[in-house]
Structure 1
Amino acid sequence: MSGYSSVGQSAVYEDGDQRNLKKSEVPGRPRYEEGVEHSHLPNDSKDQRSIANRLGNEERKLSRKEYEDPETRAAKKDPTLPATLHGNEPSKGAKVDAELQAEEEEYLKKKGK
């Protein structure tokens, strides 16, 4: 019984249980990744972007909206056109949209606009 202490055997304790880690060895949370895409909302009132940066962002948005491929422009004129251009039958929704568009144009012509 010479190997026993008042709290238990010395073999119960391991080296790592009783020592303190250095600050460099302490596991920390992962670093915040800077520059994550979509981390800033354009309408955020607490964002510290300058007025010039906000204006530039809006101008870029407008320039992107102006560019449309020919198929998108054609779809605005006739909803069934993209399907027929690809050799397919237009969907039921496209046919309904075309009918509604024709009715609205007829209504506007009657109204004189």
Structure 2
Amino acid sequence: MSTQSQSQTHTSDGDQRNAPGPNQDVGKHGGDERKEHEKGQENSHNVLDSTDQKSLKNRLAQAAKEEKEEKKAESQPGPPPTAAARANGNEPSRGAKIDEQIEEEERKLLEKKGIKP
């Protein structure tokens, strides 16, 4: 047998056949797989990236929106420092108890001065 006939036999011996069975279209993109891939991960892109191709107007609008959201988040009080431990059925740490006392004292002081917390 010559080299040419051996290589032709080898290339046509079926190494490239599709697997028999119900999954013949494995590897083809369809349905939700592709949509989820194109969607990407949440918060994986810096919206204020200077190398982005957004217009200056859109970047300024996004920056103003984020600044507004940060101010809103700062003005709303968070849960007390002991809340996480109590939610899990544990005794809060000494530091968390002290922090809670300090916050309460500051709140009372601000109310006394007439400043709304």
Normalised-by-shorter TM-score class: 0.3 to 0.5
Pick the structure with greater CA Rg. 1
Q: As a proportion of its length, which structure holds more helix?
A: 2
Question: TM-score, with normalisation over the residues of structure 1?
Answer: 0.39
Question: TM-score, with normalisation over the residues of structure 2?
Answer: 0.38
